């Protein structure tokens, strides 16, 4: 490992780094900040992940790097932020060879799609627009299909709010437009849809899991029961009946018939929103897959 390689760049001598405390490596890659702190050498992206301010202008104390632009703080070793709104800063491997400091100039992950999938999950969970924006862009750049991103966001919205929210309606409406949008606008549609779902779920209790009935009544009986529970506003009974219909293998058309039959008897309930929500839920399933 003493010979230079295309992946590693010379930052300077260890003695120089000790004297200066930090060095910046420039090249065809992104600027890399190399820091000497408490007898160890660290290397990370020189751009603050929040708004790009040069981290070389920040301060280091007790293993914590602080950006002076918005006071975002980062763990030097891992690059992880203590302030979730700022996002984590990428790090890169660093080696000391014969008194010289070498840094690997690539910022990447073994599985980019999986990495950005997890980052989107984190962004949605904490309603962090910056993280959502980066994660949507990262997934698209990694070749993830648009429908897969819509599916991830829709599942998050369904699981983390006890009821259909306007964010899921917006996500579905925007997702319907994706086939006719240019790439840049498609990215914005996905970002705004995901952001609205995250905002809907922020601070909400997650949906309680309910189970289908142990029996499998025929479709006609399930349809009658669903109408009965809708009329008397018995939510738990209606949901268990619907879950039973799904478990019994009713087709999308049969499920739609049962739900719309129950809803249209109370067409003006909730000023008609629930009728629209049912329609959008079926559109969303058409987009992301009924499985």
**Are 41 and 100 in the same domain?**
yes
Residue 125 lies in a domain: yes
Q: Are residues 91 and 143 in the same domain?
A: no
Considering the domain architecture, whether residues 87 and 118 belong to the same structural domain is answered as: no
pLDDT at 5 over 60: no
Share of the chain above pLDDT 70, in %: 96
Is the residue at 2 inside a domain? no
- Quote the crossing angle between the two packed helices 146-159 and 183-201, to the nearest 10°: 10
Tokens of residue 134, six digits: 């980066």
Note the pLDDT of residue 209: 87
Q: Specify if 188 maps to a domain.
A: yes
User: Could you tell me the pLDDT band of residue 267, with boundaries at 50, 70 and 90?
Assistant: low
C-alpha angle with apex 284: 239 to 191, nearest 5 degrees? Answer: 120
- Do 172 and 251 lie in one domain? The reply is no
Residue ending a domain, choose from 66, 85, 104: 104
Q: How many CB atoms lie within 10 A of CB 197?
A: 28
Question: Does the residue 229 lie in any domain?
Answer: yes
- For position 43, which CATH number holds? 2.102.10.10
Of 67, 103, 105, 102, residue with least CA distance to 88: 67
Confidence of residue 3 (pLDDT cuts 50, 70, 90): very low
DSSP code of residue 181: S
Q: Residue 70: which domain range?
A: 8-104
Task: Please check whether residues 68 and 119 belong to one and the same domain.
Answer: no
Instruction: For residue 206, tell me if it sits in a domain.
Output: no
Q: Is residue 210 part of a domain?
A: no
C-alpha span between 140 and 276 (Å, rounded): 30
Residue ending a domain, choose from 151, 174, 201: 201
Q: Quick check: 72 and 48 in contact, CB under 8 A?
A: yes
Structural domains in the chain (count): 3
Q: Is the pLDDT of residue 166 over 90?
A: yes
Q: Which of 44, 76, 104 is the last residue of a domain?
A: 104
Please tell me the predicted confidence (pLDDT) of residue 109: 80
Distances 241 to 76, 208, 229 between C-alpha atoms, Å: 53, 15, 9
pLDDT for residue 1 is more than 50: no
92 & 32 share domain: yes
Q: Report yes or no on 160 lying in a domain.
A: yes
Is the same domain home to 99 and 162?
no
> For residue 193, is it within any domain?
yes
φ and ψ of 192, to 5 deg: -70, -40
Q: What is the mean pLDDT of residues 104-133?
A: 92
Global pTM reads: 0.84
Distance CA 156, CA 161 (A): 8
Mean pLDDT over 107-126 rounds to 91
Q: pLDDT tens-digit profile of 6-54?
A: 688 999 999 999 999 999 999 778 899 999 999 999 999 999 999 999 9
How are strands ordered across the β-sheet holding 94-97? 8-13, 100-104, 94-97
User: Same structural domain for residues 88 and 116?
Assistant: no
Co-location of 31 and 98 in the same domain: yes
Please state, in angstroms and as integers, the Cα–Cα distance from residue 168 to each residue in 60, 97, 195, following that order: 43, 54, 10
For residues 142 and 230, state if they share a domain: no
- Digit-coded pLDDT (tens) for 60-73: 999 999 999 999 99
Same domain, 20 and 52: yes
For the four alpha carbons of 268, 271, 274 and 275, in that order, the dihedral sign comes to positive
Report the interhelical angle of 252-263 vs 273-288 (nearest 10°). 170
Residues 131, 148, single domain; the answer is yes
**Nearest alpha carbon to residue 123 among 67, 205, 202:** 202
């Amino acid at each position: 490992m003493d010979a230079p390689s295309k992946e590693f760049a010379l930052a300077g001598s260890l003695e120089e780094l000790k004297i200066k405390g930090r060095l910046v490596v420039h090249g065809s890659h992104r600027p890399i900040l190399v820091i000497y702190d408490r007898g160890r050498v660290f290397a990370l992206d020189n751009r603050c992940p929040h708004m790009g301010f040069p981290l070389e202008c920040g301060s280091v104390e007790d293993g914590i790097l602080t950006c002076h632009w918005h006071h975002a703080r980062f763990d030097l070793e891992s690059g992880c932020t203590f302030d979730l709104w700022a996002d984590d800063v990428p790090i890169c491997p660093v080696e000391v060879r014969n008194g010289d400091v070498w840094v690997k100039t690539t910022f990447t992950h073994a599985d980019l799609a999986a990495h950005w999938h997890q980052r989107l999950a984190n962004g949605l969970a904490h309603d962090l627009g910056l993280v959502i924006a980066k994660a949507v862009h990262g997934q698209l750049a990694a070749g993830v299909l648009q429908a897969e991103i819509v599916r991830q966001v829709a599942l998050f919205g369904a699981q983390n709010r006890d009821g259909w929210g306007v964010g899921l309606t917006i996500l579905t409406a925007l997702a319907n437009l994706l086939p006719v949008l240019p790439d840049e606008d498609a990215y914005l549609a996905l970002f705004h849809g995901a952001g609205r779902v995250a905002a809907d779920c922020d601070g909400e209790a997650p949906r309680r899991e309910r189970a289908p009935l142990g029996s499998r009544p025929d479709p006609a009986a399930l349809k009658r029961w669903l109408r009965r529970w809708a009329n008397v506003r018995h939510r738990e009974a209606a949901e268990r009946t619907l879950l039973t219909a799904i478990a019994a293998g009713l087709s999308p058309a049969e499920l739609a018939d049962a739900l719309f039959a129950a809803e249209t008897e109370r067409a003006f309930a909730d000023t008609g929103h629930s009728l629209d929500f049912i329609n959008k839920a079926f559109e969303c399933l058409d987009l992301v897959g009924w499985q």
